Amino acid sequence: MTKQGEILLDKVTRKFGNLTAVNAVDQVIEGGSYCCMIGPSGCGKSTLLRMIAGHEVPSSGRILIGGRDVTRVRTGERGTALMFQNYALFPHLNLTDNVAFPLKIHGLSAAERREKAREMLGRVQLSHLADRMPSQLSGGQQQRVALARALITNPQVLLLDEPLSALDEFLRLRMRVELKRLQNDLGITFIHVTHTQPEAIALADKVIVMDHGIIEQAAHPKEIYDHPHSPYVARFMGGQNVVAGQVEAVAGDSALLRGAEGGRFRLPLRAPAKQGAEMRFSVRRDKISLSPGETAGENALAGRVTNVEYQGTFVKVELATAQREEFVVYLSDRLFFARPFDFGDALVASWAPEDVCQLIGGNNSAGDALAH
Amino acid sequence: METKSKSLSFWLLTAFFVLFVLFLYSPMIAVFILSFQGPTGGMTFPLRGLSLHWFTDLFTSSRYGDLGGAFQRSILLSLLAMLVTVVVSFFAGLGFRRRFWGSGALFYLAIIALVMPGILTGLGIGTIFQTLGLRTNWLVSGLGAHLSWTLPFGLLIMFAVLNRFNGAWEEAARDAGARPVQVLGMVTLPIVFPGLIAVALFGLTLSYDEYPRSLLTVGTRNTLPIHVANLTANVTTPALYAIGTLTTFLSLIVIAGAFGTISLAARKRR
């Protein structure tokens, strides 16, 4: 059974000369869900979005929307609408005619399409500016016009290409709320490309983390946060430290690791592990406690404070440890100021084994870890 | 309060500017005034009365040759050159937005006509026509010679215009379901329209007063610039100035028309 607005990507590949921008991506995006695609620039997320919109044709593979194969269907006839990054409002048309443009293409009479466009402008609270030109609007207003123009044809799927990146911080947070509410009201599929982690986590029912043209992990944001698939996902999504060690012993579904500095880490296994193999796990930065000291026991790392940043509700403490990777601890402000630390202090950071997650994917993401 | 006397550089630049303006406009103004010379006046100041004598003389006397015919040919030729320049520059400009095989070479080939001395271009065209056994004609070889001059300009203007054109506008139109012809007619063309007016204006004026490329390519029937140049050799009356005044007015009307079209298009957008 395929639901309206469901998107199925079947081995979708897009090559530009020698460069593979999107590499055999398989994915199902549920109809009516809010999906965020995230990754560094050049990871293939925008190309994937443009292929769903029909502005790019896959080199191979199929794209199905609502059960219909639209791989080669013209853009504008596949039930999608794309909201462009810089909105791409027509500079020669006023707001009403901008919003009415898709209806004009679909052959509606001038009176009919203007009435519908005004109605849609009302929905985004811009009725009073219906006769203005796009250049006379603020960024936030332009964004709402672009949204109205995209929604006027009642698409099954709304595609948003970094819709909030051109706005200032304050407006971005407000529009974020509006987008979520709009998606709730309309019940259609939203696919939102972003490179801002908090945006993806706050909005999405499903986050698709991409790198090098492949999907590293696709899951609910809580799952991505609690159980990152690979070191790349843990590092990119933030809020985690990645710690490496060698498997010393495996006992049932837990393993004992030995760090380069000689420390021992115990962690539950979610994938089989071999003795002697290298393994990485993530530790939530907000679930680590700090105490003065030079030597670390089990599930702990010793280090010196290299940076302290006050963040309002918490304090970010950076440690230099024997691990060759940054190690950051988020302490609640109350805890920190009860016993503050300073640059150069020798500390031991410790955590509970249940707050770590074995990282299954390879350390360097390069197409080796396909998560489903 | 900054009421100090202006600096030296201010006065130097002002003097330079005044000189520039004088140089630009005083010949035109002199020609304008002298065209109203009295019937007994000559080609230089002072004025001997004011009259429209030399204007009526232009239209009634036979000593100016086929002035009306030359004028008609020049108008028709420049309109044709304008039309071709606008159409070709528009599509060539759109084409050059994408890199294609040989696009760099093609661009330089088109631009090189600007560097070539016009008289040589004309000579070359004339020679080739003769070699091929064709007769030079203002509508054929003449038009070709003019296009070698107006097209590169039109293309360069289109590049500047399209530089500020956001390709996402066309994508947004396609996303709304527009077919290529609809994208062109409903988005691309209206947005670059003011730029096309500029191309048209350039095409028209460059062709209308083109002399060196025309000289050896228009054949037996002259265009206005050639005809006027010939007249200067044997006519020594202020009638020449009357021609200048008339064509200047024509140019002003054309420019006013162009600006009018642009602002009309802008008002339609409101």
**What are the residue ranges spanned by the domains of chain B?**
66-234
What is the phi-psi region of residue B34: left when phi exceeds 0, alpha when psi lies from -120 to 50, beta otherwise? alpha
Q: What would the pLDDT profile of A53-108 be if each residue is shown by its tens digit?
A: 999 999 999 999 999 999 999 998 899 999 998 899 999 999 999 999 999 999 99
Tokens read off for A198:
């908090």
- Nearest chain A residue to B171, by CA: A55
Calculate how close chain A gets to B154, using CA atoms only, in Å: 23
- Residues facing A63 on adjacent strands: A9
Q: In this predicted structure, what is the pLDDT of residue B200?
A: 95
Look at residues A226, A251, A273 and tell me which one is the last residue of a structural domain.
A226
Q: Closest Cα of chain B to A72: distance in Å?
A: 14
Of B173, B176, B269, the CB nearest to A133: B269
> Which residues make Cβ contacts (< 8 Å) with residue A182, sequence separation at least 6?
A147
Q: Do A153 and A294 sit in the same domain of this protein?
A: no
Residue A258 resides in a domain: yes
Is A163 part of a structural domain of the chain?
Answer: yes
SS (H, E, C) chain A: CCCCCCEEEEEEEEEECCEEEEEEEEEEECCCCEEEEECCCCCCHHHHHHHHHCCCCCCEEEEEECCEECCCCCCCCCCEEEECCCCCCCCCCCHHHHHHHHHHHCCCCHHHHHHHHHHHHHHCCCHHHCCCCHHHCCHHHHHHHHHHHHHCCCCCEEEEECCCCCCCHHHHHHHHHHHHHHHHHHCCEEEEEECCHHHHHHHCCEEEEEECCEEEEEECHHHHHHCCCCHHHHHHHCCEEEEEEEEEEEECCEEEEECCCCCEEEEECCCCCCCCCEEEEEEEHHHCEEEECCCCCCCEEEEEEEEEEECCCEEEEEEEECCCCCEEEEEEHHHHHHCCCCCCCEEEEECCHHHEEEECCCCCCCCCCCCC
A13 inside 8 A of chain B by CB: no
Whether residue A231 is contained in a domain is answered as: no
pLDDT of B145 > 80? The answer is: yes
% of chain B beyond a pLDDT of 70: 97
Q: Which residues contact B239 (CB under 8 A, 6 or more apart)?
A: B54, B57, B58, B61, B64
Tell which of A201, A226, A251 closes a domain: A226
pLDDT the model gives residue B266: 74
The pair of three-digit structure tokens given for residue A293, joined into one six-digit string: 């000291």
CB-closest option in A82, A86, A92 to B190: A92
Residues A302, A321: contact at Cβ < 8 Å? yes
Q: What pLDDT, on the 0 to 100 scale, is given for residue B234? A: 82
Residues of B in contact with A157 (CB under 8 A): none
Q: What CATH number corresponds to the domain at position A246?
A: 2.40.50.100
Global pTM reads 0.83
At residue A366, does pLDDT exceed 60? no
* Res A367 pLDDT > 50: no
**Whether the Cβ atoms of residue A278 and residue A246 lie closer than 8 Å to each other:** yes
Count of C-beta atoms within a 10 Å radius of residue B144: 18
A2 in any annotated domain: no
The answer on pLDDT for B268 being more than 70 is: no
Domain B66-234 has CATH 1.10.3720.10: yes
Cis, bond preceding A91 (omega within 30 deg of 0): no
Which residue reads 């990754």 in tokens? A39
What is the full DSSP assignment across B52-99?
SHHHHHHHH-STT-SHHHHHHHHHHHHHHHHHHHHHHHHHHHHHHTS-
Task: Give percent above pLDDT 70 in chain A.
Answer: 97
Choose among A84, A106, A149: nearest Cβ to B177. A106
Measure the CA–CA gap between B138 and B69, rounded to whole angstroms.
Answer: 12
Instruction: Show which of residues 114-153 on chain A sit within 8 Å of chain B, judged by CB atoms.
Output: 131, 133, 149, 153
Quick check: B173 and A101 CB within 8 A? yes
Among A27-31, A94-98, B2-6, B204-208, the range scoring the smallest mean pLDDT is: B2-6
Q: Closest to A76 (Cβ–Cβ): which among B168, B175, B186?
A: B175
Decide if A104 contacts A114 (C-beta within 8 A): no
Check A88 against B166: CB less than 8 A apart.
Answer: yes
pLDDT at residue A369 greater than cutoff 50 = no
Domain enclosing residue A54, as ranges: 7-226
Judge contact between A148 and A127, C-beta under 8 A: no
**pLDDT tens-digit readout, A109-119:** 999 999 999 99
Q: Is B252 helix (H, G, I), strand (E, B) or coil?
A: helix
Q: How far is A165 from chain B (nearest CA, A)?
A: 16
Q: Which residues of B touch A153 (CB under 8 A)?
A: 176-177
Cα A96 from Cα A93, distance rounded (Å): 8
In a shared domain, residues A353 and A323: yes
Whether A305 shows a pLDDT value over 70: the answer reads yes
Per residue in B126-142, pLDDT tens?
999 999 999 888 889 99
Nearest chain A residue to B165 by CA distance is A91
Other residues' Cβ atoms within 10 Å of the Cβ of residue B265: 14
The pLDDT tens digits of the residues spanning B185-224 come to 999 999 999 999 999 999 999 999 899 999 888 888 889 9
Q: How far is A300 from chain B (nearest CA, A)?
A: 52
A27 Cβ under 8 Å from any chain B Cβ:
no
Residue B127's identity, in one-letter code, is: T
Token representation of residue B119: 């008289």
Tell me if residue B104 falls in helix, strand or coil: helix
Report ipTM for this prediction: 0.84
Quick check: A88 and B169 CB within 8 A?
A: yes
| Closest CA in chain A for residue B167 | A88
Return the residue of A nearest to B168 by Cα.
A88
The verdict on residue A369 lying in a domain is no
Pair of tokens at residue B36: 């109203």
Q: Are B67 and B58 in contact (CB under 8 A)?
A: yes
First to last CA, chain A: 19
Q: Is the pLDDT of residue A238 over 90?
A: no
B66 pLDDT above the threshold of 80: yes
In a domain, A290, yes or no: yes
Given an 8 Å threshold on Cβ–Cβ distance, is B177 in contact with A88? no
Residue B1 has pLDDT above 80, yes or no: no
> pLDDT tens, A249-287?
998 888 999 988 778 999 999 888 888 889 999 999 999
CB A228 within 8 A of CB A357: yes
CB A367 within 8 A of CB A215: no
Residues in B whose CB is inside 8 Å of some CB of A read: 166, 168-169, 171-178, 182, 186-187, 190-191, 269-270
Q: Which residue of B has its CA nearest to A154?
A: B176
Chain A residue nearest residue B175, CA to CA: A76
Cα–Cα nearest to B232, from B244, B218, B221: B244
A169 & A266 share domain: no
- Tell me, yes or no, whether A232 lies in a domain: no
Residues 6+ apart with CB under 8 A from A349: A288, A289, A290, A296, A300, A301, A302, A303, A319, A321, A327, A329
| Beta strands at A157-161 and A189-194: parallel, antiparallel or unpaired | parallel
Q: Which of A256, A240, A320, A323 is nearest to A288 (CA)?
A: A240
Domain total of chain A:
2
Which distant-in-sequence residues (6+ apart) come within 8 Å of A257 by Cβ?
Answer: A245, A246, A247, A248, A264, A265, A266, A267, A279, A281
Residue-level pLDDT at B39? 86
A127 with A22, same domain: the answer is yes
Burial of A88 (0-12, 13-18, 19+ CB in 10 A): buried
Write down the residue that tokens 């002035």 correspond to: B67
Give me chain B's average pLDDT, please.
Answer: 90
* Interchain CB contact of A266 with B (< 8 Å): no
CB within 8 A of A313, min separation 6: which ones? A332, A333
C-alpha–C-alpha distance, residues A76 and A42, integer Å: 26
Q: Do B176 and A93 touch (CB under 8 A)?
A: no
Q: What angle, 0 to 180 degrees and rounded to 10, lies between the N-to-C axes of helices B103-115 and B67-96?
A: 150
Which of A159, A192, A226 represents a domain boundary (last residue)? Answer: A226
Interatomic CA distance for residues A192 and A206, integer angstroms:
10
Answer yes or no: is pLDDT of A371 > 50: no
- CA dist., res. B175 & res. B68, Å (int): 54
Q: Which residues of A touch B182 (CB under 8 A)?
A: 105
Nearest residue, CB atoms, B178 vs list A88, A92, A105 = A105
Residues A52 and A96 in one domain: yes
